[in-house]
Structure 1
Amino acid sequence: MKALLIAVLSIAGISLASADCGSCGAGQKADVAANDADGKCASGCCDLLKAYEGVATALAHDDFEGAKKAAHKVAHFGECDGNEKLTALAMKVEKAPDIAAAREAFKAVSAAVIPLTENAGEHYVMTCPMAKADWIQTTKDVANPYFGSSMLKCGSVKRTVAAK
């Protein structure tokens, strides 16, 4: 009986540990760019774009704490997908000592996320000539995460990624 109880609790613990990954269960890789026939994300981890945009929006609005919380979500998507590089890059934003360091670290996060979201629905790759960096938005209205309120509208649409 004791062995059965231990086995049940072990299985429950594994289930709870993987439940935090949404549809990306333990050991299961999710294609964050995969779409189903309707053009909707086939994976719960396709919410990477939303989590990423949370970081960009927070930085654009000078919300350091919000950026760190959103970066934690991006790091989690990296864990779900087995993408250690994305996890490490997002954690640099999350652990940044100040907003300037978070913005600098966000450049590398953007460079990593842009190719992962090519099939994640319509969005825009924006560019900032001053920061010499790109980022993603789901609207065309520039909200620069690299300079925030000091240069919120600095940048332009580099390219449109069409829904596929």
Structure 2
Amino acid sequence: MMFKHFFYLLLGVSVISCNQTENKSEEKVTVSADSTRNNSTILAGNDLKVENAALTDIYATYIQLKDDLVKSDSKEAANVSAKLAGQLKDNNDYLKIVEKANDISKTDDLKKQRLYFSDLSDEMIKAVKASKVESGKAFVQYCPMAKNGEGAYWLASEKEIRNPYYGDEMLNCGDVKEEITKK
């Protein structure tokens, strides 16, 4: 009899804690939707600045693109990726970034955009890591479910996970793998 009461007590605690976790996730979604509308809100206090001013600007635009994919806004992702490619049109150091940004800009298919974003992110991570960070930080984040279970990385200005590969479907799926900061 005592075991039966203990079992129900544990079951009740489990249900309550799952509901609290679920409510926190819903609360985060609301915050994310509000904070991703204005890029300056996201970057405030953590602007990544590298010695290459062009890359600093490119990173800010990349973060806008990431946020549009988090919101599953394929039209705005296409617009921002076109802007990103335009920022780099005369820069031969970032040809692969231009290529992937152009790929994203040419489609409104969110699944294709997210696939191209994975390749773009790999190139952005290499570029930021190869640069001297003057201030701020970037977080290398990873989702093991992206690209049909292959996994994919992306950069973020905040430590909190906002998954660009799944948006609201799996907003918090992933973890921080590395922090890029001034050495």
TM-score past 0.5 threshold: yes
1:123 matched to 2:172 = no
Pick from 94, 105, 108 the counterpart of residue 116 of structure 2: 105
- Residue aligning to 2:169: 150
SS of structure 2 residue aligned to 1:117: helix
- Give the alignment partner of residue 52 of structure 1, picking from 55, 62, 70: 62
Equivalent residues in 2 for 1:55-70, closer than 5 Å: 55-70=65-80
- Shift, 1:64, TM fit: 1.1
Deviation string, structure 1 residues 74-116 (Cα, Å, up to 9, x no partner): 2123324223221111111111241111111101100111111
The Cα of 1:42 is off from its aligned counterpart by 4.1
Aligned partners of 2:154 and 2:84: how far apart in 1? 14
Q: Is the 8 A contact 1:123 1:138 kept in 2?
A: yes
Select between 53-62 and 65-74 the one with higher mean Cα deviation.
65-74
8 Å Cα contact 2:78/2:106 also seen in 1: yes
Runs of 5+ unmatched residues, structure 2: 1-47
| Equivalent pair of 1:72/1:90 in contact (CA under 8 Å) | yes
1:73 to 83, 90, 95: 83
Once residues 95 and 138 of structure 2 are traced to their aligned partners in structure 1, the CA distance between those partners, rounded to angstroms, is 25
Give the partner amino acid of 2:122: A
Q: Is the 8 A contact 1:78 1:85 kept in 2?
A: no
Look up the equivalent residue of 2:177 and give its one-letter code: K
| CA positional deviation for 1:70 | 1.5
Structure 1 pair 117/80, CA: closer, same or farther in 2 (3 Å)? farther
CA apart distance, 1:49: 0.9
Q: TM-score, normalised by structure 2?
A: 0.64
CA apart distance, 1:65: 1.4
Aligned-CA RMSD value:
1.7
TM-score, normalising length: structure 1: 0.71
5+ residue gaps, structure 1, are 1-38
Which one-letter code corresponds to 2:155 in the other structure? I
Comparing 112-121 and 139-148, the one that deviates more: 112-121
- Structure-2 residue corresponding to 1:34: none
Match of 2:30 in 1: none
**1:92 lines up with 2:103 in the alignment:** yes
Greater than 3 Å deviation, 4+ residue runs? 39-44
